[in-house]
Structure 1
Amino acid sequence: MSAEKPGRPLVGVVCDRYFIGEHDQHGAKHSYVRALMFNANVSPVLIPASREIEAAEPYLDGVSGLLFPGGASNVEAHRYGGETGRDILADPDRDHVALNLMRAAAARGMPMLAICRGFQEMNVAFGGTLHADIQASGLSQDHLEDLAEDLPTRYRYRHDVELTPAGMLSTLAHAQCVRVNSLHRQGVDMLAPRLVVEARAPDGLIEAYRLNGHDFALGVQWHPEVMTQHDPLSRSIFEAFGASCRRYRQAARPATDHHEG
């Protein structure tokens, strides 16, 4: 991937890997692409999910931020020392790419936005653990997805979250409590040491955090990408992410310009 040129910052979107019939596919939902283009004001590029990718650096050299989207699969239990053998859809290729990219991007101070599965990846990447099944762990069923529902119903607001006073999200929301549309089976068990809680659900489950010491490295358990047209906080999350990507690119540009010259 070549270095960015003047214009909108490039933001990498980590793909899922899955089969449609006999065809092996890499893909990301358009809702994430649309929110990046129209709310973050950046240009998304897709990063494939493959265990054959050995190094994160060529991808990071070409972008000014990363989006880790939601997905149907879950982080493999062995990645965080959990029990194996559960009948839960996994995507080991995405785990490999996402966790390596996330750690390498953090070392550079690169902006990151992690949503749903990406939120869970962020905790695992920095040493945290997960509940493989929040319902089996005795937490609320309000977080679970009903595949029999149509998409607008499925992505409706599910429950409130309490925002950390003076945190990033409470500042963006100008509120201490907001409603969110969480849909997930996994959830945070032990929080990674480098993460700072930004929001909790009524049952105590952590629903948002940020990576301490970074300009913008935010994980949210819910789905702001489908709410940007009418939800101010969802829109503000993507706007703040885009602004951070522009700051990152501006800070890196003198070295890039010198190299190209």
Structure 2
Amino acid sequence: MTKQGKPCPAKPLVGVVCDMEIIGPHPFHVAGHKYVNAIVNGSNCTPVLIPALGDLQQLEQLIHTLDGILLTGGYSMVNPEHYQGETPDPETKLDNERDNTTLPLVTMALDAGVPILGICRGFQEMNVALGGTLIQKIHENGQYIEHREDKNQSLHEQYDSAHAIELNPDGQLQTLFNNTSIDVNSLHTQGVKELAPGLISEAVAPDGLIEAFSVQQSKAFALAVQWHPEWKFHNNVYSRKLFSAFGQACQHRQQVKNNHG
């Protein structure tokens, strides 16, 4: 309620995907606070957690209700069976429940014109969902710089700027950021091998690895980034611009829905 006693205007609803994590003996659906906080305070939207159930009927209902989708980062990797048909590395942590939720969710959101923002694992999920492939271990490839965080460092140091990225001069991010390059953090083991059809590279690392892409001819905002803009987003002008733009797209989606009853 406002100070005058009137109801506050409803904010756009953004679905935040969850991981399936075992905590103690029980499975939990979890999403990091930093993502939820960025949606609340960076995008000015209301977060709604999407459990990793892989229930297509539930997802169809959510798509008609939500004004945006945030694909979060995570500690697991997309199962390579979804893009290369290979046996997963035994050392790789998987989350099949999340895969079964997010991969169909991406195509549903794009078909329905629901704004979507992918971050780190979410970036990789979007590429796989649309037909792209991933490099499973960048550090073993031999042609790329180190993109993983140093886990011996403090959390602040791990999320500090790691390298610059060059923005596509004809891309959406270059227009949004009004710059040709920016510095980003780097905390990922996997990356894009082949970009899916219909995706446009928005930024590359110094070694040529794709760091961001957009969906060509999408009905609404559809961007994904390999870095972590949600980390202390309020201290980074580019992170603020990204979450603000996503929030505005979600608000537009909400208005369109309301106008159509």
TMscore range, shorter length = over 0.9
Query: Is 2:178 the counterpart of 1:183?
Result: no
Conservation of the 8 A alpha-carbon contact between 2:68 and 2:250: yes
Matched, 1:11 2:30: no
> Which residue, 128, 131, 137 being the options, matches 2:135?
131
1:35-114, aligned counterparts within 5 Å? 35-51=38-54, 53-55=55-57, 56-86=59-89, 87-114=91-118
CA displacement, residues 137-185 of structure 1 (integer Å, 9 cap, x when unaligned): 2243431122232211111111010000031111121110110012111
Separation in 2 of the partners of 1:82 and 1:164? 32
Kindly provide the amino acid, as one letter, of the partner of residue 120 in structure 2.
C
Residue 249 of structure 1, CA deviation: 1.3
Determine if contact 1:82/1:130 at 8 Å carries over to the other structure.
Answer: no
1:251 Cα offset (Å): 1.2
Equivalenced residue count is 251
Letter in 2 for 1:253: N
Cα deviation, residue 227, structure 1: 3.6
In structure 1, what is the Cα distance between the partners aligned to 2:93 and 2:177? Answer: 34
SS where residue 88 of structure 1 aligns? coil
Is 1:27 the equivalent of 2:30? yes
Q: Which one of 154, 157, 162 corresponds to residue 158 of structure 2? A: 154
| Aligned counterparts of 2:232 and 2:246: Cα–Cα separation in 1 | 16
Match of 1:231 among 213, 233, 236: 236
Equivalence for 1:259: none
Structure 1: runs of 5+ lacking an equivalent? 257-261
Q: Distance in 2 between matches of 1:60 and 1:146?
A: 38
Q: Which AA in structure 2 matches 1:9?
A: P
Q: What percentage of aligned pairs have identical amino acids?
A: 45
Q: Give, in angstroms, the shift of residue 40 of structure 1.
A: 0.4
Mapped to 1, the partners of 2:137 and 2:251 lie a distance apart of 37
Q: Distance in 2 between matches of 1:118 and 1:223?
A: 11
Runs of 4+ in 1 over 6 A off after TM superposition: none
Cα RMSD for the two superposed structures: 1.4
Query: Contact conserved, 1:142 with 1:159, CA < 8 A, in 2?
Result: no
> Corresponding residue for 2:148?
144
Paired AA for residue 191 in structure 1? L
Contact 1:79 1:124 in 2 (8 A): yes
Report the Cα offset of residue 213 of structure 1: 1.3
Alignment of 1:166-245 (within 5 A): 166-214=170-218, 215-245=220-250
Q: 8 Å contact 1:82–1:129 — kept in the other structure?
A: no
Q: Which amino acid aligns with 2:113?
A: G
Query: How far apart, CA to CA, are the structure 2 residues paired with 1:32 and 1:153?
Result: 19
SS at match of 1:225: coil
Residues of 2 paired with 1:121 and 1:81: CA distance? 14
Unaligned runs of 5+ in 2: 1-7
What does the per-residue CA deviation read over 1:56-113, in whole Å, with 9 as the maximum and x for residues that have no partner? 2111121100000000000000000153241200000000100111110000111000
- The residue aligned with 2:4 is none
Answer whether contact 2:139 2:146 (CA < 8 A) is retained: no
C-alpha contact 1:82 1:132 (8 A) present in aligned 2: no
